[in-house]
Structure 1
């Protein structure tokens, strides 16, 4: 008899526990919803349960859960504004979400350079962090969601993290790049900004791709049992990205690549798969995806140039894919630290892409110059650049970073002079009588210093592979 009563109590408790209206943990008090669109909102309840949704900006919706108890609606959102809103969801019980802002939402992901918080790493500072943190209380219209950095072997439905208001107490532990990016948008657009941060130091790009997708890569291999999570495909996608899929965003900023540098030739395929699969899963169109070039760093071996080749692959991806951009860090590296301290400049450069491409704020040069073509003379070679409206400059300093070679591809440092009135430099070296090839900043660590007049660094490049690519 006693056992029967206990069993009945357990059954009743189980039913009562299940009979609750739930909203995905991606949604919580203090969140930002994307403005001027139909945002997704979803959750769970009993199967075939009627669910109603009401917002304080005037939307009323009804739906019914499916056989598995999931419900989802699309809610029209107004123009961005700083008025706090609320959402009430009623099913078998009710959920009341408060202090909701309408504005712009961006997802930030990658490895340790995206993870690096405003207060820095041990013995590795972030410049201008003290000023940013001390002024954060003035940016309460910026809201942040930090996803817990955990791997999972299977896809997880719920986000481990909660939305917070940007304050001096909350922002120090948040991604410096993401904050500086978001703060620039906040100042320029004058609407609330939502920043979702899901990154993990040391991870390869494959860790962030859905299992079914990553297995289609040409170089895919089943991970060994000894492989750590940072080298295991899909495990951070499962726990940190999958629960976010569907949360309506404007775009993605991505800072990763160091962990993939030894597979530089394979990296374009990996990133095309990652970007393409994310856009397909989100099912909200061709949103923007902005990457950060890995910064100059020595990596220990002076003969190693795999980081230079990884940067080359990053630029190929950006030039090939639609709505994908890349910002250069060619002037921000540190020979001793893989985490450059000038995160503010990186965040701001990412914002220039977004402000121009996504928000149509014009009037300034937002791209780094790229190599265009060469013109060979008897004992010199001229290099032309594109994506630089007012030309190039070294800001009155001696130009560094150029090397030239003849047919034998033996490179020597080159003297460089800007050609007056042209977007070009003339190169020559006493060691190369008949120059044919050029390299610029094409080392793991370099101090190349050519920029656009707007102050954006020229992307590193080499020309000795162009003939092979053109065949």
Structure 2
């Protein structure tokens, strides 16, 4: 999964607090169009001059305090019913802040890695969803990406009112979750979106909580903390400033490399498509230019065409014969560009692509069949040897870039700690892909992070998450799976109070770690909240989950908790796929399974005396057991045999 790596600024690294000034100022999360949590004590805080008197007025309440010696102040508003819009005023001796269009309703924190970061504009039916997004009572605050080795006081972003103009950049899972709540509750819904693609759970855990974990669970981060301090040296700061300036302008654009590439001997060769981690560009981030000449017949001259490049990590600008034909921002978007008339030549043509990589892997990373030009139904393959030349890359300045996984707690410090006093109803979480190789440790890391956040907020709020979807190739025979073990670790976390899980084993994409059906993900999360937090007793919020099993001869009978619904199979013959059984040799074989008297009976001709049963225990299982409400059964195993991730650390 792709990690967005942002070079740490000196201020982020040393955790400098916002400078105190005489003007009273609320924390950046308090702004126009915000949503405050109903039926809860609401804290509002900020900065002012030391000992400055501060008066806050909102919705019939007026509260007063005085800034401390450090210039920080905080007030509390008594619980309020849902409503609005209201205005909030915050006044000191010399200044006054007005915050308008404030609603009181339900506030949920949405966090995790790239499947939470995944935007509405990238989801299924994006155009229709954006056009229909007329929900002014739904608001979203997206926390700007930032890292810090020490806890920060502030995070930055702004509240956006949901509309067709704004919703495209909302977290898709968060938005569809909020929409389900709004449609049912008809009260304002606020979502605070704080996520970062390709991140480990360790970076979202506070340092004090992480350091208290058992040694066999914690990672050895080596000298990362010392190396982070080096980033604040004057030499590194100067290097970064130079890099940022060149990155923003890219001298190659001014030199028009898309028209005049200069001396061919300064360009190297690379076979594309290929992800950068396997090339000399493995340690490079920045702008790299790629060129390829291709020949078209004379009858193609001037014709319109369609160009396909597959997905590009991260961004691109593309030219044919010096004419720009498209540009895209986004690492998980397959490029398709329309080539207008009078651009193509009969004979030799030149395709130029400037790839911008902001961190981690990079480049054209699809399949060879993804890269082609189509002219009037005839397809010309473009995979193969390309020339390339970096224009602005980090190695040119000796800059070492650090991502959020280089040290624990970097994202907690910068993207969670600044909001821990903001009253929320609960949290929804979509992460785990990055920790699949450490799934056994996740059994400890995940519940620890949940309890860590709750302790920082000061109360046990509801916490719901998305279990990893199906992904990668289907296994021809039963085998061990790190992804299955991570799903098991997520399920085990249900032992914590006020938790819930949205099982998505049926709506993933074996070829894409970012499945696009985020509507159903949001709906399944909302079912948990509506049933457990909002008193909707008529809702079935979970698919079948394993309760127990009994061995009878060569058969195993599995009993499920069904939460008010009945078992159902998505197969016209009633056969259940995805079950496997093993005997004392611990070798699993695919099994036949069917529903009988509300239970599932499982057996295999290859196992006379089964001792264990598993269901959907693979990366991308063929699993078709549901309930009559359409919710899938959760993957499970009846055995506790050591998995492949037990000794990873």
Is TM more than 0.5 here? yes
Q: 1:363 to 1:178 in 2, by over 3 A?
A: same
RMSD between aligned residues: 2.0
Whether 1:404 and 2:401 are equivalent positions in the alignment is: no
Equivalent position SS for 2:435: helix
Partner of residue 307 from structure 1, selected from 458, 461, 483: 483
Whether 1:23 and 2:26 are equivalent positions in the alignment is: yes
Asked if the contact 2:20–2:71 (Cα under 8 Å) also holds between the matched residues in 1, the reply is: no
CA–CA distance in structure 2, aligned partners of residues 220 and 411 of structure 1: 32
Whether 1:177 and 2:168 are equivalent positions in the alignment is: no
- Per-residue CA deviations over 1:47-76 (Å, capped at 9, x if unaligned) read 112111111x21011111112111111112
Partner of residue 95 from structure 1, selected from 90, 94, 97: 97
Whether 1:191 and 2:187 are equivalent positions in the alignment is: yes
Partner of 2:312: none
Whether 1:291 and 2:462 are equivalent positions in the alignment is: no
Q: 1:455 to 1:301 in 2, by over 3 A?
A: closer
Deviation at residue 297 of structure 1 after TM alignment:
1.0
Asked if the contact 1:32–1:192 (Cα under 8 Å) also holds between the matched residues in 2, the reply is: yes
CA–CA distance in structure 1, aligned partners of residues 541 and 119 of structure 2: 25
Q: 1:316 to 1:235 in 2, by over 3 A?
A: same
Deviation at residue 214 of structure 1 after TM alignment:
1.3
Asked if the contact 1:143–1:164 (Cα under 8 Å) also holds between the matched residues in 2, the reply is: yes
Deviation at residue 31 of structure 1 after TM alignment:
0.2
Deviation at residue 229 of structure 1 after TM alignment:
2.1
Asked if the contact 1:77–1:102 (Cα under 8 Å) also holds between the matched residues in 2, the reply is: no
Deviation at residue 325 of structure 1 after TM alignment:
1.2
Whether 1:256 and 2:253 are equivalent positions in the alignment is: no
Asked if the contact 2:474–2:620 (Cα under 8 Å) also holds between the matched residues in 1, the reply is: no
Deviation at residue 266 of structure 1 after TM alignment:
0.8
Deviation at residue 388 of structure 1 after TM alignment:
3.3
- Per-residue CA deviations over 1:14-34 (Å, capped at 9, x if unaligned) read xx9821101000100000011
Asked if the contact 2:544–2:626 (Cα under 8 Å) also holds between the matched residues in 1, the reply is: yes
Asked if the contact 2:37–2:424 (Cα under 8 Å) also holds between the matched residues in 1, the reply is: yes
Asked if the contact 1:388–1:452 (Cα under 8 Å) also holds between the matched residues in 2, the reply is: no
Partner of residue 146 from structure 1, selected from 142, 152, 156: 142
CA–CA distance in structure 2, aligned partners of residues 334 and 255 of structure 1: 16
Equivalent position SS for 1:141: strand
Partner of residue 64 from structure 1, selected from 63, 66, 74: 66
Larger Rg: 2
Asked if the contact 1:47–1:68 (Cα under 8 Å) also holds between the matched residues in 2, the reply is: yes
Partner of 2:502: 327
Whether 1:375 and 2:550 are equivalent positions in the alignment is: yes
Partner of 1:11: none
RCO higher in structure (CA 8 A, sep ≥6): 2
CA–CA distance in structure 2, aligned partners of residues 299 and 243 of structure 1: 41
Q: 1:314 to 1:49 in 2, by over 3 A?
A: same
- Per-residue CA deviations over 1:227-246 (Å, capped at 9, x if unaligned) read 73234211111111111110
Whether 1:135 and 2:132 are equivalent positions in the alignment is: yes
Asked if the contact 2:20–2:49 (Cα under 8 Å) also holds between the matched residues in 1, the reply is: no
Deviation at residue 368 of structure 1 after TM alignment:
2.2
The two structures have a TM-score, normalised by structure 2, of: 0.66
CA–CA distance in structure 1, aligned partners of residues 432 and 493 of structure 2: 12
CA–CA distance in structure 2, aligned partners of residues 36 and 214 of structure 1: 32
Equivalent position SS for 1:362: coil
Partner of 1:223: 221
Aligned residues: 441
CA–CA distance in structure 1, aligned partners of residues 29 and 526 of structure 2: 24
Deviation at residue 396 of structure 1 after TM alignment:
4.2
- Per-residue CA deviations over 1:252-287 (Å, capped at 9, x if unaligned) read 00000011111111112111221111111111x210
Equivalent position SS for 1:119: helix
CA–CA distance in structure 1, aligned partners of residues 512 and 219 of structure 2: 31
The two structures have a TM-score, normalised by structure 1, of: 0.90
Whether 1:155 and 2:151 are equivalent positions in the alignment is: yes
CA–CA distance in structure 1, aligned partners of residues 211 and 32 of structure 2: 38
Deviation at residue 304 of structure 1 after TM alignment:
5.6
Equivalent position SS for 1:140: strand
Asked if the contact 2:43–2:422 (Cα under 8 Å) also holds between the matched residues in 1, the reply is: yes
CA–CA distance in structure 1, aligned partners of residues 466 and 512 of structure 2: 17
Asked if the contact 1:204–1:231 (Cα under 8 Å) also holds between the matched residues in 2, the reply is: no
Whether 1:349 and 2:488 are equivalent positions in the alignment is: no
Partner of 1:86: 87
Deviation at residue 99 of structure 1 after TM alignment:
0.5
Q: Flag structure 1 segments of 5+ consecutive residues without an equivalent.
A: 1-15, 121-125
CA–CA distance in structure 2, aligned partners of residues 313 and 353 of structure 1: 19
Equivalent position SS for 2:519: helix
- Per-residue CA deviations over 1:113-165 (Å, capped at 9, x if unaligned) read 11110112xxxxx21332221111x2011011011122222222112101111
Q: 1:416 to 1:221 in 2, by over 3 A?
A: closer
Deviation at residue 171 of structure 1 after TM alignment:
1.0
Asked if the contact 2:550–2:556 (Cα under 8 Å) also holds between the matched residues in 1, the reply is: yes
CA–CA distance in structure 2, aligned partners of residues 355 and 389 of structure 1: 16
CA–CA distance in structure 1, aligned partners of residues 138 and 578 of structure 2: 40
Partner of residue 590 from structure 2, selected from 413, 422, 430: 413
Partner of 1:7: none
Partner of residue 119 from structure 1, selected from 102, 109, 121: 121
Partner of 1:388: 563
CA–CA distance in structure 2, aligned partners of residues 361 and 231 of structure 1: 43
CA–CA distance in structure 2, aligned partners of residues 437 and 231 of structure 1: 40
CA–CA distance in structure 2, aligned partners of residues 405 and 268 of structure 1: 24
Deviation at residue 466 of structure 1 after TM alignment:
7.6
Deviation at residue 300 of structure 1 after TM alignment:
10
- Per-residue CA deviations over 1:375-411 (Å, capped at 9, x if unaligned) read 2112211111013323211144431101111111221
Asked if the contact 1:374–1:382 (Cα under 8 Å) also holds between the matched residues in 2, the reply is: yes
